[in-house]
């Protein structure tokens, strides 16, 4: 018979107490953990989690500023903005981008160009929330996509500002254009600590004034705090910091003068720069041909790009700023002034011109354009009639070192500092320059050596001489001013559109060269003689109502073999001489100085000079046309011969 087991109450009590204690400890631990987390959430890291919560509820959106306007001296708008609607896609919210675009194309026509452009932007863009697929939507297109918008998450219709250049080719090489920000530009903005100010901005200045004055034109980006629901839709705007629009650029440029100059060129290629000598303000700035800058704003299509690049006349080349050409006889007044300043010539010193110049001990002849020569030639006649022989001998007497020392005062071989990017330096040759230009061992010692013949050609503006039309216009303005030099500039004043405060670009001379007044007077008098009887510019002087000083120039493009004759009619157009004319007026108190280049235009008197005359008439008198006598012989002036004989390898000027 089994005996019942006796219960050990003491032992059970101990175990129960242990369980209770453990349960209490567990509860306390749980409460402690909750208390600690409460402390962390509400006290220790309150700011952090509050910010996170707010960021889920509040969206921060940049508000892009209006880009500043660009207007001419009379307030005529040359670059402005307008608002249009754009169909935009946000790739990170679209599961199948290609399928979405295909479905959209069944509602709206999406061209292959638009599709290519979208994918190009997608590959380049990192910081943009949305990318445009189709821009400038019509009201009908907006209605169509709005009715189907529920089908396309990540697809939005946005109102954006667009840039427009109403004068197209006429101002392309001055205004430039804006384009989409690429990676290199984004990196540069980041390095300059400007990236934050470009949040939400898709475009930046790429060329011309748009690039040079980017900081003024861009403005300051604003910020908008928007409360959103759980699906990310905006409920209300909580706070808004308004953007600050870009500043307005007021130019010295006269668009009416610019337009007239363009008409005078017609289909011819070349450049024209007109400057107010008393301030350095640029009145007209032409490079022909031009291009439509509106093509570049949203990315130029491949066909248009190919057409511009394959065009043999290079419309993208800014001839006025970056084209370098031999100056021809327009260089002679500056050579004459150097001779006076350095004591190599007096105004009355004359030479007997046989029609050529030979180096001592050499049978090689540097020929004048006039067979048989000009007879007895003093300084006045050397400029008025443009005698090459006079300047062959003068260059030989001066030597290259004095030429190299004098010409930089007029800006030759130096950047003028105009407010445009990409200005060319030009070539003011010297022995040191030639060594750098033809370095060993790529070139022989004979090729890098400086010869006497090199300086002879420089005397008439040929040889290695090469300058931009802007440099010639600037040099002419300095001469007109008697040695007072202003930096050429296109922007006269910058206007803050919020405060309407104007910041004037003060025309302060950067140099005052102490040329002798009597020497300046000699050169001005001789240049005025260019427009008189016997002068090379007499053909365009009929009916002058003001005094005008000028100088024709004809720059050789290709060399002529010894004994050969130059005949424009039988020479390929691209090999014909360039036509130059520089001038300023009125002579007593110059208000305009200009340089005109007509590429392959032939004699300076027949192509460039008529344009210059009509431009000065328009600017000074308001006349849009001036009758011009076509032939010089009837007025007793110098008539350029249609054929010219040259010696081997010789470069000469024929005006």
- The catalytic residue positions are 329
Structural contact between residues 114 and 133, judged by C-beta atoms closer than 8 angstroms: yes
Cα 472 from Cα 352, distance rounded (Å): 30
- Please tell me whether 387 is known to bind a ligand: yes
Structural contact between residues 166 and 78, judged by C-beta atoms closer than 8 angstroms: yes
The torsion angle over the Cα atoms of residues 257, 260, 261 and 267, rounded to 10 degrees, is 160
End-to-end Cα, the chain, rounded Å: 149
Whether residue 289 is preceded by a cis peptide bond, meaning omega within 30 degrees of 0, is yes
For tokens 């004759």, the residue is: 565
- Please tell me whether 374 is known to bind a ligand: yes
Structural contact between residues 196 and 206, judged by C-beta atoms closer than 8 angstroms: no
Cα 637 from Cα 384, distance rounded (Å): 10
For 525, counting Cβ atoms within 10 Å of its Cβ (0-12 exposed, 13-18 middle, 19+ buried), the class is middle
Look at residues 642, 253, 267 and name the one whose alpha carbon lies nearest to residue 418. 253
Which H or E run includes 70?
strand 70-71
Helices 517-530 and 332-341: angle between axes, nearest 10 degrees? 150
For tokens 């008539």, the residue is: 639
Structural contact between residues 279 and 610, judged by C-beta atoms closer than 8 angstroms: no
Look at residues 386, 351, 348 and name the one whose alpha carbon lies nearest to residue 527. 386
Look at residues 425, 427, 430, 426 and name the one whose alpha carbon lies nearest to residue 454. 430
Q: Which two three-digit tokens encode residue 156?
A: 């939005």
For 270, counting Cβ atoms within 10 Å of its Cβ (0-12 exposed, 13-18 middle, 19+ buried), the class is buried
Look at residues 345, 334, 604, 574 and name the one whose alpha carbon lies nearest to residue 460. 334
CA 253 to the chain's CA centroid: 14
- Please tell me whether 173 is known to bind a ligand: no
Give the DSSP letter of residue 228: E
Look at residues 597, 491, 618, 581 and name the one whose alpha carbon lies nearest to residue 272. 597
- DSSP per residue, 443-510: S-HHHHS--HHHHHHHTTT-TT-BB-HHHHHHHHHHHHTTSEE---BSEEEEE-TTT--EEE-----S
Cα 14 from Cα 17, distance rounded (Å): 5
b vs e for 201-231, b when ≥16 Cβ sit within 10 Å of the residue's Cβ?
bbbbbbbbbbbbbbebbbbebbebebeeeee
The contacts of residue 470 (CB under 8 Å, 6+ apart) are 273, 320, 321, 416, 418, 423, 488, 595
Structural contact between residues 106 and 65, judged by C-beta atoms closer than 8 angstroms: no
Collapse the DSSP code of 72 into the 3-class scheme (helix H, G, I; strand E, B; otherwise coil) and give the result. coil
Q: Which two three-digit tokens encode residue 120?
A: 């190009």
- Please tell me whether 203 is known to bind a ligand: no
Collapse the DSSP code of 207 into the 3-class scheme (helix H, G, I; strand E, B; otherwise coil) and give the result. strand
Dmax (CA) of the chain: 164
Residue positions forming the annotated binding site for Zn(2+) = 353, 368, 374, 387
Residue positions forming the annotated binding site = 353, 368, 374, 387
């Amino acid at each position: 018979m089994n005996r019942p087991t006796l219960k050990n109450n003491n032992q059970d009590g101990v175990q129960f107490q242990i369980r209770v204690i453990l349960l209490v400890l567990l509860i306390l631990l749980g409460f402690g953990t909750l208390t600690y987390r409460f402390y962390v959430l509400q006290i220790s890291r309150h700011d952090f989690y509050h910010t996170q919560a707010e960021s889920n509820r509040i969206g921060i959106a940049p508000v892009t500023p209006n880009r500043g306007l660009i207007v001419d001296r009379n307030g005529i708008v040359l670059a402005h903005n307008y608002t249009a609607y754009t169909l935009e896609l946000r790739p990170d919210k679209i599961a199948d981008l290609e399928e979405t675009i295909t479905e959209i194309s069944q509602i709206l026509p999406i061209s292959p160009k638009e599709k290519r452009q979208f994918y190009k932007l997608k590959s380049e863009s990192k910081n943009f929330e949305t990318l445009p697929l189709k821009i400038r939507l019509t009201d009908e297109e907006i209605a169509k996509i709005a009715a189907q918008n529920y089908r396309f998450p990540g697809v939005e219709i946005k109102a954006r500002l667009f840039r427009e250049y109403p004068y197209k080719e006429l101002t392309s090489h001055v205004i430039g254009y804006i384009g989409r920000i690429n990676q290199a530009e984004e990196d540069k903005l980041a390095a300059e600590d400007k990236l934050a100010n470009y949040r939400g901005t898709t475009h930046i200045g790429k060329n011309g004034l748009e690039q040079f004055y980017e900081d003024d034109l861009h403005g300051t980006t604003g910020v908008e705090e928007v409360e959103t629901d759980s699906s990310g839709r905006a409920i209300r705007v909580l706070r808004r910091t308004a953007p600050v629009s870009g500043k307005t650029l007021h130019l010295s440029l006269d668009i009416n003068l610019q337009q007239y100059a363009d008409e005078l060129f017609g289909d011819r290629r070349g450049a024209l720069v007109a400057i107010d000598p008393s301030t350095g303000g640029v009145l007209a700035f032409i490079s022909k041909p031009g291009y439509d800058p509106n093509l570049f704003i949203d990315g130029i299509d491949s066909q248009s790009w190919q057409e511009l690049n394959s065009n043999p006349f290079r419309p993208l080349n800014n001839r006025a700023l970056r084209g370098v050409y031999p100056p021809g006889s327009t260089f002679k007044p500056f050579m004459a002034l150097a001779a006076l300043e350095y004591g190599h010539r007096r105004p009355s010193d004359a030479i007997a011109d046989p029609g050529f110049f030979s180096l001592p001990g050499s049978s090689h002849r540097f020929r004048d354009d006039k067979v048989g020569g000009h007879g007895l030639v003093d300084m006045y006649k050397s400029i008025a009639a443009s005698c090459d022989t006079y300047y062959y001998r003068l260059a030989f007497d001066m030597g290259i070192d004095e030429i190299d020392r004098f010409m930089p005062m007029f800006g030759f071989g130096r950047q003028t500092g105009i407010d445009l990017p990409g200005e060319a330096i030009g070539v003011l040759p010297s022995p040191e320059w030639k060594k750098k230009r033809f370095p060993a061992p790529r070139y022989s010692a004979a090729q890098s050596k400086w010869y006497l013949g090199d300086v002879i050609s420089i005397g008439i503006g040929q040889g290695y001489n090469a300058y931009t039309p802007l440099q010639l216009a600037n040099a002419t303005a300095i001469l007109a001013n008697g040695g007072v030099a202003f930096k050429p500039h296109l922007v006269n004043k910058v206007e803050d559109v919020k405060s309407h405060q104007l910041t004037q670009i003060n025309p302060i001379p950067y140099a005052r060269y102490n040329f002798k007044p009597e020497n300046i007077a000699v050169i001005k008098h001789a240049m005025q003689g260019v427009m008189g009887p016997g002068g090379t510019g007499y053909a365009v002087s009929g009916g002058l109502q003001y005094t005008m000083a000028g100088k024709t120039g004809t720059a050789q493009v290709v060399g002529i073999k010894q004994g050969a004759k130059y005949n424009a009619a039988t020479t390929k157009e691209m090999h014909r001489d360039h036509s130059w004319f520089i001038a300023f007026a009125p002579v007593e108190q110059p208000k305009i100085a200009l340089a005109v280049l007509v590429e392959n235009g032939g004699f300076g008197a027949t192509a460039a000079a008529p344009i210059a005359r009509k431009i000065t008439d328009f600017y000074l008198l308001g006349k849009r046309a001036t009758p011009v006598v076509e032939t010089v012989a009837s007025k007793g002036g110098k008539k350029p011969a249609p054929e010219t004989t040259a010696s081997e390898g010789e470069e000469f000027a024929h005006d």
